């Protein structure tokens, strides 16, 4: 009845799906029990409705019953037109989702919703957050990503309970962050001197992005023992990120910066599930180190990550790897996969590796492989993949999905 629809890169579950008949049944039961409504047709008869979802351009504001559902706890409005809703009447509202709404100004009355825990304004045309937002002192999640907001007000500092802040890059500054003692998720920030000591005080941080001078944050990162996801981009000057100081509990790591070399495998976070490298300019083959990470499921070698000519994936390497992407490795000429390597690989991507002439011989032994994507590769490389005719066809004939562009 309930099926897995999509897994995350770390192996978790992103979404489920159910049969359309089951969907209709659960929708009917939910509406009959006043648990949830995804229609605005009969609001005038509903007095105990707790949850309402409205999609696209339903004229919700014009419905005479909208003011009668004062007990509403959750209101989800997706891609709504600019409507004046009586927010101030929903005094018990805890969840308000306005993703994609065609609004340019802060909706009137939201600041009165002091019970609000979640406020979603992602993808709207909102330009600023007013000072009155400081009244939302119980807010746990604020999502203003992909909006026109280019600066967050000091009012955010008074949201002491805030756990998750989703916003555009570089609009969060240290003056705001230092007051958010419970914060767990932060967008990409520009490194500054405050991070020497202040960043390490945010001990509840689980997801963080940093860009700039890494000398400000190397020490502090070692204090963030709860950190699960870290993105570091464009380190300035000669500063190098000390990978050995990162939390041993780190699960996702994205690095877009120069690395002198990779540390020994036992100096890396052993719980890493996803690793992405760009612009690291590694001259030594990263596979002998990374293939020994026992929990790694996603590995992405992006543009400028490796500038050598040859990579080797050895026997029993990458025991749990599910997804591998080789992207813009312009110097790579040979990739060798030994028999017994990549025993769980499901999805493989080659993109713009211009000097790579052929697929590795050992790929024919990776029987778990179900998806192969090839794009922006040399014509001679793609010619070798032609069904029944290409020289490499025998290596991939067991793969059920081929996407060659």
- Tens-digit pLDDT profile for residues 71-87: 889 988 876 766 667 88
CATH code, domain with 364: 3.80.10
Decide: 243 and 222 in contact? Cβ < 8 Å: no
Kindly report, residue by residue over 268-284, the tens digit of the pLDDT. 999 999 999 999 999 99
Distance of alpha carbon 13 from alpha carbon 75, whole angstroms = 24
Is 254 within a domain? no
Decide: 232 and 241 in contact? Cβ < 8 Å: yes
Is 76 within a domain? no
- What was the pLDDT predicted at 228? 95
Confidence tier at 32 by pLDDT (50, 70, 90): low
Distance of alpha carbon 69 from alpha carbon 306, whole angstroms = 59
Is 256 within a domain? no
- What was the pLDDT predicted at 10? 56
Segment 129-135 mean pLDDT: 94
Is 83 within a domain? no
| CB-based burial label for 400 (10 Å; 0-12, 13-18, 19+) | exposed
* Tokens representing residue 183 in the block: 């914060």
Mean pLDDT of the chain: 87
> Where are the extended beta strands (E) located within 191-260?
207-212, 229-235, 252-256
Distance of alpha carbon 394 from alpha carbon 36, whole angstroms = 54
Would you give the DSSP letter of residue 177?
H
Lowest mean pLDDT among 51-55, 173-177, 209-213: 51-55
Could you give the C-alpha distances from 141 to 145, 184, 202, 206, in angstroms and in order? 12, 10, 17, 14
- What was the pLDDT predicted at 197? 84
Confidence tier at 50 by pLDDT (50, 70, 90): confident
Chain-centroid distance of CA 9 in Å reads: 9
In the predicted structure, residue 9 carries a pLDDT above the cut 60: no
Distance of alpha carbon 148 from alpha carbon 167, whole angstroms = 10
Better pLDDT: 14 or 271: 271
Is 1 within a domain? no
Instruction: Give the total number of structural domains in the chain.
Output: 1
Burial 179-194 (b: 16+ CB within 10 A, else e): ebeebbbbbbbbbbeb
Distance of alpha carbon 260 from alpha carbon 322, whole angstroms = 27
Is 278 within a domain? no
Kindly report, residue by residue over 182-235, the tens digit of the pLDDT. 999 999 998 888 888 899 899 999 999 998 887 788 788 888 999 999 999 875
Q: Which of the residue ranges 10-24, 39-53, 55-69 has the most confident prediction, judged by mean pLDDT?
A: 10-24
In the predicted structure, residue 362 carries a pLDDT above the cut 80: yes
- Domain residues for the domain of 313 are 284-405
Kindly report, residue by residue over 317-342, the tens digit of the pLDDT. 999 999 999 999 999 999 999 999 99
Is 290 within a domain? yes
Sign of CA dihedral 361, 365, 367, 368: negative
- What was the pLDDT predicted at 366? 96
Segment 353-375 mean pLDDT: 95
- What was the pLDDT predicted at 8? 65
Better pLDDT: 60 or 179: 179
Confidence tier at 66 by pLDDT (50, 70, 90): low
- What was the pLDDT predicted at 33? 59
Confidence tier at 35 by pLDDT (50, 70, 90): low
């Amino acid at each position: 009845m309930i099926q897995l629809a999509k897994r995350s890169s770390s192996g978790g579950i992103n979404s489920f799906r159910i049969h359309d008949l089951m969907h209709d049944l659960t929708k009917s039961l939910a509406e009959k029990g006043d648990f949830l409504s995804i229609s605005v047709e009969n609001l005038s008869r509903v007095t105990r409705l707790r949850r309402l979802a409205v999609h696209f351009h339903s004229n919700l504001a014009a419905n005479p019953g909208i003011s009668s559902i004062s007990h509403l706890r959750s209101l989800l409005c997706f891609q709504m037109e600019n409507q004046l809703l009586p927010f101030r009447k929903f005094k018990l509202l805890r969840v308000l989702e306005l993703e994609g709404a065609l609004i340019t100004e802060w909706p009137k009355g939201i600041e009165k919703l002091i019970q609000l825990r979640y406020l979603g304004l992602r993808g709207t045309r909102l330009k600023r957050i007013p000072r009155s937002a400081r009244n939302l002192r119980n807010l746990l999640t604020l999502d203003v990503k992909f909006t026109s907001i280019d600066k967050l007000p000091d009012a955010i500092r008074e949201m002491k309970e805030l756990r998750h802040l989703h916003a555009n890059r570089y609009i969060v500054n240290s003056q705001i962050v230092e007051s958010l003692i419970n914060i767990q998720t932060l967008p990409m920030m520009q490194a500054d001197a405050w991070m020497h000591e202040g960043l390490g005080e945010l001990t509840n941080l689980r997801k963080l992005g940093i860009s700039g001078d890494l000398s400000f944050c190397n020490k502090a990162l070692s204090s963030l023992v709860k950190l699960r996801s870290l993105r570091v981009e464009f380190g300035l000057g000669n500063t190098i990120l000390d990978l050995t100081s990162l939390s041993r509990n780190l699960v996702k790591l994205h690095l877009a910066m120069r690395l002198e070399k990779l540390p020994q495998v036992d100096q890396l976070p052993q719980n890493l599930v996803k690793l992405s490298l760009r612009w690291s300019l590694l001259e030594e083959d990263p596979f002998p180190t990374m293939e020994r990470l026992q929990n790694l499921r996603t590995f992405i070698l992006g543009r400028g990550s490796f500038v050598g000519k040859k990579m080797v994936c050895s026997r029993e390497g990458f025991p749990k790897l599910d997804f591998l992407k080789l992207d813009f490795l312009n110097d790579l000429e040979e990739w060798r996969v030994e028999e017994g390597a990549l025993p769980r690989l499901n999805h493989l991507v080659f993109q713009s590796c211009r000097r790579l002439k052929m697929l590795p011989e050992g790929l024919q032994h990776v029987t778990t492989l179900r998806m192969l994507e090839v794009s922006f590769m040399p014509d001679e490389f793609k010619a070798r993949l032609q069904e029944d005719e290409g020289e490499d066809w025998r290596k991939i004939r067991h793969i059920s999905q081929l996407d060659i562009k």
